[in-house]
Amino acid sequence: MAQETSKKLTLKPIGNRVLVQRIEKEETLKGGIILPDTAKKKQETAKVIAIGSGSTTADGKLIPIPVQTGDTILMDKYSGQEVTIDDEEFVILRADDIIAIIN
């Protein structure tokens, strides 16, 4: 009798990459109109889930990524690669695509 175990998939970005999750804003429309996902504006704010080790210079010095896990950031609108893990949507983007840290 085989036992079924559910493993939670984890994703660790490498190099100069950051794993973020978009912060969805609730949208209420008058008259009960429902917008399909394709008509909704993509959110540029996101929460940092995981960070890579950073990039290296030509002489081998490590340049750390300037954000930390848990930071709320502003990112370029169409940057990164969208991925789905365990029915949740994430974006992997370069640290250079981060515009600002929101306090």
Per the CB < 8 A criterion, the answer to whether 20 and 47 are in contact is yes
Please name which of 70, 65, 78 lies closest in space to residue 21, comparing C-alpha atoms.
Answer: 70
What is the pLDDT at residue 33? 63
Print pLDDT tens along the chain (103 aa).
444 445 565 789 999 999 999 987 655 555 666 655 555 556 689 999 999 999 999 999 999 999 999 999 999 888 899 999 888 899 999 999 999 999 8
What is the pLDDT at residue 48? 96
Q: In this structure, is residue 55 part of a structural domain?
A: yes
Q: Show the CA angle centred on residue 80, arms to residues 60 and 39, nearest 5°.
A: 170
Q: In this structure, is residue 45 part of a structural domain?
A: yes
Q: In this structure, is residue 29 part of a structural domain?
A: no
Q: In this structure, is residue 1 part of a structural domain?
A: no
**Which domain, by its residues, includes 63?**
17-24+40-102
CATH number, position 61: 2.30.33.40
What is the pLDDT at residue 1? 45
Q: In this structure, is residue 32 part of a structural domain?
A: no
Q: In this structure, is residue 65 part of a structural domain?
A: yes
Per the CB < 8 A criterion, the answer to whether 86 and 8 are in contact is yes
Helix (H) or strand (E) holding 101: strand 98-102
